[in-house]
Amino acid sequence: MIETTNVSKSFSEIKAVDNITAQIKEGLVFGLVGTNGAGKSTFIRMLAGVLKPDSGTITIDGEPVYAQTDTKARCFYISDDQFYFGNSTPAEMRDYYQHFYSGFDKNRYNALLNAFGLDGRRKINTFSRGMKKQAAIIAALAANTPYIFCDETFDGLDPVMRQAVKSIFAAEIESRGLTPVIASHNLRELEDICDHVGLLHKGGLLLSRELEDMKVSAHKIHAIFPDQLKQADFPGLDIVSLKHMGSMHVFIVRGDQQTVSDAIAAKSPLFMETLPLTLEEIFISETEVVGYDIKSILS
C-alpha cells in the first residue's frame, strides 16, 4: 500500500502540491484526475521518488521512497515524456532496465514488442509519440514491479491501443496484484478502468473515494412530463441538477435509488428510466457537496 501524509511541494512561489493525505491500496487501479497545473505530475513524481516532498511523508509498503533504491525498485514510473538515451533502440533499453529491476522478464519484453508491432532494432527517436508510449508501457510490464505510475500514459495512444493496454493492466491486476496509479486530465479515459479516484485541484486533494461507492450514492433519471417541472416540485429530493430537453427532464439526484425513483414516479411521468452515471457526472455530484463547481474545474 502507498500512504502519503500531509505531503506538500512548492517551486519558488508556486504551491504545486498542498498537504495531501491519501492511501492507495494494492491490486486496485487508482485514477488521479485534475486539470493541467492541478499538481498531478508533481504528486506522481513524488510517489515514484523522483522528487522529494518539502514536508510530509510518502511510504510504499511501509518504507520511505525518496533516495531508497530498494523501495524505488518496487515501482516503474512512466512519465508524460519518457526519457530514452539518444539513438537507443528498444533492445538497448531492455538491457539497461535489466540492471535496475531484478524481476525484469526479457522474454516477455521481446514478446510484447512483437505483439505491439515495434521493431526492437529501430531507433526510438524515430518513433511517433504513441509508439514511444507503447515502448514505455512494455518496459513497465516486463519489469514486473508491484506498482506502475502512469502520467498521461493513454495520451497519444489510438483508441484500439488504449483498450489493449487497459486489458493488459486488468490481466496483470488479476494474475499478480499489480497496482497502477494513472494520472490524467481526461475523466473519460479512466471511467472504464479505475476502482478508486482522487480529484486534485490547485494542488489539493478535493476527494478520494471508491468509484463504486460514488456510483451508488447518485442516480441519473430521464423522465417525460406533459408540463415542465422544477426542482421545487420535488420537495425532499437532493437534486444536484435538473435539465430540460423539451418535455424530457434529466435528473441527477443523490440518495437511495428506490426513494428517488418513487418520488419522481409519484408525479406520473409519461416515461421514466434510470441510467448509469458517467464519471464526470459522479464528480459533479460529489464535488458540489464540498462547495466546488466541477464544471468550471474540468472545463
Residue 18: helix, strand or coil by DSSP?
A: strand
For 266, the grid coordinates are 409519484
Q: Which residues lie below 8 Å from residue 69, measured CB to CB, with a gap of 6+? A: none
Asked if CATH classification 3.40.50.720 holds for the domain at 2-202, the reply, yes or no, is no
pLDDT at 202: 83
Coil vs helix vs strand at 1: coil
Q: Which of 148, 133, 179, 139 is nearest to 24 (CA)?
A: 179
The residue extents of the domains of the chain are 2-202, 217-297
Rounded Cα gap, residues 111 and 90, in angstroms: 12
Q: What is the pTM of this model?
A: 0.83
For 217-297, the fitting CATH number among 3.30.70, 1.10.287, 2.60.120, 3.40.50 is 3.30.70
* C-alpha cell at position 229: 417541472
Give the residue ranges of the chain where pLDDT is below 50: none
- One DSSP character per residue, 53-97 reads -SEEEEEETTEE-TT-HHHHTTEEEE-TT----TT--HHHHHHHH
Residue 253 β-bridge partners: 219, 239
- pLDDT for position 288: 65
Question: Cβ–Cβ contacts within 10 Å for residue 116, how many?
Answer: 16
279: left (phi over 0), alpha (psi -120 to 50) or beta: alpha
pLDDT the model gives residue 215: 78
Please write the tens of the pLDDT for every residue from 112-152: 999 999 999 999 999 999 999 999 999 999 999 999 999 98
Residue 147: per-residue pLDDT: 97
